[in-house]
Amino acid sequence: MDDVVIMECTFHGVNFTKATLQRARIEMTCLTNGIFIKTDLTNVDWRGIDTDRAIFYKTIMPDGNIRNLNCG
């Protein structure tokens, strides 16, 4: 999903496993309990995002770092 815009939405528990969201613009969005397994968030504009209790496993973050969090 290149160049997608998601603003002011609530997605509790959405599964983004293996999704490619490169260059998407995601602002002021609630992604609590989201599942991000092998998700590519390269260059995503990620402002005001709530990822409380989200699972990140082998996820490429907007800055290019790999994140593993809450996946134990």
Statement: the pTM of the whole predicted model exceeds 0.85: yes
pLDDT band at 1 (very low <50, low <70, confident <90, very high): low
DSSP code of residue 2: T
CB 24 within 8 A of CB 1: yes
What radius of gyration, in Å, describes the C-alpha atoms of the chain? 11
Question: What pLDDT score does 47 carry?
Answer: 86
Stretch (H or E) spanning 69: strand 66-69
DSSP code of residue 32: T
- Encode pLDDT of 11-67 as tens digits: 999 999 999 988 889 999 999 999 999 999 999 998 889 999 999 999 999 999 999
Question: What pLDDT score does 68 carry?
Answer: 97
Handedness of CA 70, 42, 40, 34 (dihedral sign): positive
Question: What pLDDT score does 2 carry?
Answer: 58
Question: What pLDDT score does 52 carry?
Answer: 93
**Which position has the token pair 């209790």?**
53
Domain ranges of the chain: 1-72
